[in-house]
Amino acid sequence: MTPPDSLRNLGVRVTTHGGELRVWSENADAIDLCIFDATDPNWIVKTVPMVKDAHGVWVGRSRTLSAGRRYGIRVSGPTGPQHSFHPEKTLIEPYSRGLVRVGPDQWQSYVVDDTFDWAGSSKPKIALDHTVVYEAHVRGLTNLNPSVPAHLRGTYAGLAHESTIGYLKNLGVTSIELLPVQAFVSERRLIKQGLTNYWGYNTFNFFTPHADYATQSSQAAGPEAVLREFKGMVKLLHEAGLEVILDVVYNHTAEEGPNGPVSSLRGIDNAAYYRQNSAGAYIDLTGCGNTLNVSHDVPRRLVLDSLRYWANDLQIDGFRFDLAATLARDEHVEFQQDSPLLTAIQDDPELADVKLIAEPWDIGMGGWQTGNFPGGWTEWNDRYRDRMRSFWLTDLAAARDGHAGSGIGRFATRLAGSANTFSQERGPLASLNFITAHDGFTIADLTSYNVKHNVGNGESNRDGTDSNNSFNHGAEGPTRDKAILTVRRKAMRNLLATLLLSAGVPMITAGDEFGRSQRGNNNAYCHDSELTWLNWDLDDWQVDLHRVTRRLLQLRRENPALRPVWFGRPGETTLSASQMDWYNIEGKSMSEDDWHSSNERTLQYLAASTPEHEEFNRILLIVQGREEDVTVTLPVHEGVTSYTLLWDSSHDDLSDTVIEHAPGDQYLVPGASMQLLRAH
């Protein structure tokens, strides 16, 4: 017989007999439920002493606790180095579905009526090998878009507007990944500087949509209207066949370091919720002041319940876990692949169809864990990012100075799915490939700046990474030099083509499809301004780059050989894998010297699908990593009678003319370029 779940139904449950609040605290001496007047935020109309059960769950009931009510809790307990009880403070209840700001630094929980008519809409459930992630910011995506009505710009409703959805569908992405939308606040340091936490990685509550991203009318109407607008956004995106993935921050909270604000978990049970030593010193694995202690059952349950709520009640399709290595650390702060939280997420039937994406590092000991997450997870592949940037940017910069860069071998490994990082059992779809992300240079800035330009962040240019693997091609920042502009734009095409023609799951950063710049700022987390919002007034070259991105996404869809699910095994037929053959500049099979020589910068990659769900397909991808033109001999391969050119990065676009070549033909490849051909 299954024992009763002692942590069931935490938070508020409303029935015909009134409301019940359940809050866990092991160390509290007393907890009071405070219910506030509907109009006066300072007037407590009812105080209910809560009763503790044998499992540390405090329960309070009141008929007054009903939909539309604001409430909070006051918690008292012992003093000591690990405790931070402040019975004079009204705290946010951790499972709050709604929040109301009642002062500059004051919030109250809100009981929402969460009824919503989904009208039969359902999750698209896009297969991982067909998935293309588009990382975007709710406000930044539409705040300057003239196609979106002014009152909807920068909001959930603006993201779901027909023009936004039409743009995403036309581009060809399948899944929009939103930077944090769980309620967050700006750090006190930023507020003092007159800045703001634009990205949102400072979560205040794990269950409430961030109200500032709702329309003014929804904000004025209250938390229920904000929640409805969020659900309405998800519903409309789903009806268009687009998935919604959320970037979630469960590794730390907005309560900052031990001297930070006491707003929720710290005042409820600091000793249990945050990692600390016996002296009460916080163990900070995140660089944000605190670390949620998911080695403890209750914080771990808080994360699981939050995921279930967003995945089921709000119909979210997937999650990208910020600093996910932190979530896999045990009580000794060591990374464990089979940690209780990772295992619970994987095994939870309520999360069975959810996409799981890990940022596989943190700042603790052994923090870089790329490739070490369990099956069922896709990981941000920083090694892919660095290798591809180096090949197309810093290697070419080094070559201009007479130095050899990296050869073709390590590039090919990443192109084919990073088998040296991800196990045979996990396959190439364990790799989330990216060239850029919200954190770092945009793709345009990678080709325009050698160093970061972050002075506007207020930290004397100390913040943000110095390891960008970027190349300005001869001028730092904006230039009118046509030769430099031409080579920069080709570099962008090469980077986008590499991303979208690689095995694995690609992620595009919003705006990279048309070359958005942040003026060299590689850490623009604190700028809610035109620096970070997408500018939809495009120059001609940006329109060309957008067309190129659309074409590349079309080619990815149409050629399953580019999208293997599994790694092939020598001498075996593996369904949904691609048979890969590698040729050098002479059209001969790559030798060991070819693979390992730093001077070898040209590769021909012949990939044939092993059909399981789609028709047979074979492509040839030519990669030429030198700035001078070269002539290659197209490979002679059994079953191949001709090659048709589909795309060439040395041009903004190709005409409709069909260009055919035969195996064994001599083929002139322009400097620093890629060509995709279909093999017949």
CATH of the domain at 38: 2.60.40.10
Question: What are residue 289's phi and psi, to 5 degrees?
Answer: 105, -35
**Are residues 304 and 424 both part of a single domain?**
yes
User: Catalytic positions, please?
Assistant: 322, 359
DSSP-derived 3-state class of residue 36: strand
Based on the fold, state whether residues 591 and 542 are members of the same structural domain: no
Q: What is the pLDDT of residue 654?
A: 65
**pLDDT at site 659:** 86
Q: Is this prediction's pTM over 0.95?
A: yes
* pLDDT surpasses 80 at 653: no
Residue 3 belongs to some domain of the structure: no
Task: Write down the pLDDT at residue 2.
Answer: 63
Distance CA 50, CA 21 (A): 9
Q: What is the mean pLDDT of residues 85-90?
A: 97
Does residue 207 fall inside a structural domain? yes
Summarised one tens digit per residue, pLDDT across range 619-645 is: 999 999 999 999 999 999 999 999 999
Structure tokens that stand for 549 in this block? 């991105």
Span 444-473, mean pLDDT? Answer: 96
Q: Please tell me the distance from the alpha carbon of residue 26 to that of residue 292, in angstroms, as a whole number.
A: 16
State which of 92, 110, 128 marks the end of a domain.
Answer: 110
Q: Examine the domain organization and report whether 65 and 203 are in the same domain.
A: no
Q: What pLDDT, on the 0 to 100 scale, is given for residue 237? A: 98
Residue 128 lies in a domain: no
Domain contains 123: no
85-117 burial, b at 16+ Cβ within 10 Å, e below that, comes to bebebbbbbbbbbbbbebeeeebbbbbbebebe
**657 has pLDDT over 70:** no
Q: Which two tokens stand for residue 121?
A: 């809409």
pLDDT at 655: 61
Give domain status of residue 5, yes or no: no
Residue 283 has pLDDT above 90, yes or no: yes
Q: Which of 56, 48, 106 has its CA nearest to residue 77? A: 56
> What's the pLDDT score for residue 101?
95
Task: Using the 3D structure, point to which of 516, 538, 560 is the last residue of a domain.
Answer: 560
The average pLDDT across 576-605 equals: 95
Q: Give the pLDDT confidence score for residue 121 in this predicted structure.
A: 95
Render pLDDT for 550-565 as a digit per residue (tens, 0 to 9): 999 999 999 999 999 9
Residue 98 sits in which domain range?
Answer: 11-110
**209 and 77, same domain (yes or no):** no
For residue 139, pLDDT over 80 is answered with yes
Spatial distance between the Cα atoms of 351 and 344, rounded to a whole number of angstroms = 10
Single out the residue in 110, 145, 161 at which a domain terminates: 110
Q: What is the pLDDT of residue 570?
A: 81
Does 656 score more than 70 pLDDT?
Answer: no
Calculate what percentage of the chain has a pLDDT beyond 90.
94
User: Domain holding 494: CATH number?
Assistant: 3.20.20.80
In the prediction, which pLDDT does 4 show? 83
Q: Which stretch of 50-64, 453-467, 646-660 has the lowest confidence by average pLDDT?
A: 646-660
Q: Which residues contact 285 (CB under 8 A, 6 or more apart)?
A: 251, 275, 291, 323, 325, 326, 329, 333, 362, 363, 364, 367
pLDDT at 405 over 90: no
Q: Are residues 550 and 576 in the same domain?
A: no
pLDDT digits (tens, 9 = 90+) for 334-386: 999 999 999 999 999 999 999 999 999 999 999 999 999 999 999 999 999 99
Q: State residue 184 phi and psi, 5-degree precision.
A: -140, 165
Answer whether residue 168 is part of any domain: yes
**341 touches 301 (CB < 8 A):** no
Is residue 249 very low, low, confident or very high in pLDDT (cuts 50, 70, 90)? very high
Among residues 504, 347, 325, the alpha carbon closest in space to that of 427 is found at 504
658, pLDDT greater than 90 = no
Task: Tell which residue, 444, 439, 291, has the closest CA to residue 359.
Answer: 439
User: To the nearest whole number, what is the mean pLDDT of the chain?
Assistant: 96
37-46, long-range: CB < 8 A, 24+ apart? 38/68, 38/69, 38/70, 41/70, 41/100, 41/102, 41/103, 41/106, 41/108, 42/102
Q: Has residue 131 been placed in a domain?
A: no
Whether residue 316 sits in one domain with residue 228: yes
Q: Are 531 and 455 in contact (CB under 8 A)?
A: no
| Average pLDDT value for residue range 166-183 | 98
The answer to whether 144 and 511 have CB atoms below 8 angstroms apart is no
Q: Does the residue 306 lie in any domain?
A: yes
Residue 652 pLDDT more than 80?
A: no
| Residue 569, pLDDT score | 85
Long-range contacts of 98-105 (CB under 8 A, 24+ apart): 98/208, 98/222, 98/223, 98/224, 98/226, 98/227, 99/183, 99/204, 99/205, 99/208, 99/211, 99/223, 100/41, 100/70, 100/222, 100/223, 101/211, 102/41, 102/42, 102/70, 103/41, 105/261
3-state secondary structure of 279: coil
Residues 197 and 303 in one domain: yes
Summarised one tens digit per residue, pLDDT across range 506-520 is 999 999 999 999 999
Element (H, E) at 634: none
Q: Is the pLDDT of residue 678 over 90?
A: yes
| SS3 of the chain: helix, strand, coil, percent, to 5 | 25, 20, 50
Of 131, 158, 132, the residue nearest 536 (C-alpha): 158
My answer on whether 511 and 640 are in the same domain is no
- Do residues 147 and 294 both lie within one domain? yes
Residues 151 and 229 grouped into a single domain: yes
Which pLDDT does position 197 carry in this prediction?
97
When pLDDT is averaged across residues 239-259 and rounded to a whole number, the result is: 97
What's 615's domain CATH number? 2.60.40.1180
| Cα–Cα distances in angstroms (integers) from residue 10 to residues 30, 116, 298, 340, 347, in the given order | 17, 22, 11, 20, 21
Assess whether 168 and 148 both reside in one domain. Answer: yes
**What average pLDDT does the segment 291-298 reach?**
98
In this prediction, residue 59 carries a pLDDT of 98
Same domain for 493 and 580: no
Domain count along the chain = 3
Percent over 70 (pLDDT), the chain: 99
